[in-house]
């Protein structure tokens, strides 16, 4: 069984107080649900992606806790005259272990192309950088309704594969984001989500079965405590990239508790 990830993308929300409260509160609830002490690790991974100003604090607050910190975005460039950008080396230096690459909002609102996303992904694989890419892919409502879901996702994957090859996914994570099910009132059923996750894994399996079967693929379409269990028991869904529900201790911890129950039954 692949190790489940519960990842919280805070987007442009947060404060110093929220950072401290969320990290400590979620960790406490996770320990309570698993009935273990702070000296032992959980049977799954918890990631948080705070806004850039709170990354250093999040790293400090999560020290000795089973919570890993990632950034929401990074530049593909090492350094230079790129006002407002943050390099992967900077993120690595302050203790970030992951970075979101190609989030749907970056693609839509900031016009990031598949090629630019591939360049950022490739930059994460540099030997001098120790930041794992969490690649976000997914289709819009119009694309789903037109029956092009698989073609869109294949193109997003191919841009990265063409840049780094299948080996680039050996130490990476993918998140499937059905854009049409994020903040729209629409929802994807566990079966719909599983179908796309299976498509992603099968596509990569044709290139390298070992990498494809070990790769963790998260679901990023409005995960909540009420639907987490049904989603995460699907064969090819290895956890969630969570938006709004990651901003409240009760909701985020509730998802972690659902994962704990899954682990206990396996």
Residues annotated as catalytic are 103, 177
* Chain position carrying tokens 């990031």: 112
CA separation, residue 196 to residues 164, 193, 212 (Å): 22, 5, 14
**Which two tokens mark 173?**
């994570």
Cite the DSSP H helix spans in the chain.
16-34, 55-61, 88-93, 104-109, 114-124, 141-145, 149-164, 190-205, 209-214, 225-232, 249-265
CA separation, residue 255 to residues 33, 148, 208, 249 (Å): 11, 31, 32, 10
- What is the rounded distance in angstroms from the CA atom of residue 88 to the CA atom of residue 120? 9
Helix axes 225-232, 190-205, angle to 10 degrees: 40
Bridge partners (DSSP) of residue 100 are 134
Residues 6+ apart with CB under 8 A from 22: 8, 48, 246, 247, 249, 252
């Amino acid at each position: 069984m692949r190790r489940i990830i519960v990842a919280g993308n805070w987007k442009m929300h947060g404060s110093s107080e929220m950072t401290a409260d969320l990290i400590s509160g979620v960790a406490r609830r996770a320990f309570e649900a698993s009935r273990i002490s702070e000296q032992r690790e959980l049977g799954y991974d918890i990631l948080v992606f705070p806004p850039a100003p709170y990354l250093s604090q999040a790293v400090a607050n999560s020290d000795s806790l089973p919570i890993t910190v990632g950034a929401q975005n990074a530049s593909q460039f090492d350094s230079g005259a790129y006002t407002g950008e943050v390099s992967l080396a900077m993120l690595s230096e302050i203790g970030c272990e992951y970075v979101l690459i190609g989030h749907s909002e970056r693609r839509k609102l900031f016009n990031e192309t598949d090629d630019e996303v591939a360049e950022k992904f490739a930059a994460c694989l540099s030997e001098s950088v120790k930041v794992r890419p969490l690649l976000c892919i997914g289709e819009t409502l119009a694309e789903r309704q037109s029956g092009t879901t698989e073609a869109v996702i294949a193109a997003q994957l191919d841009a990265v594969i063409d840049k780094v090859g299948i080996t680039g996914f050996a130490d990476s994570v993918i998140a499937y984001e059905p854009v049409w099910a994020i903040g729209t009132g629409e929802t994807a059923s566990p079966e719909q989500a599983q179908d796309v996750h299976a498509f992603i894994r099968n596509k990569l399996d044709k290139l390298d079965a070992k990498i494809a079967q070990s790769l963790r693929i998260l679901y990023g379409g409005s995960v909540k405590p009420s639907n987490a269990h049904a989603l995460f028991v699907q064969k090819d869904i290895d956890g969630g990239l969570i938006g709004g529900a990651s901003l409240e201790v009760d909701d985020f911890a509730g998802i972690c508790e659902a994962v704990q129950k899954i682990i206990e039954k396996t």
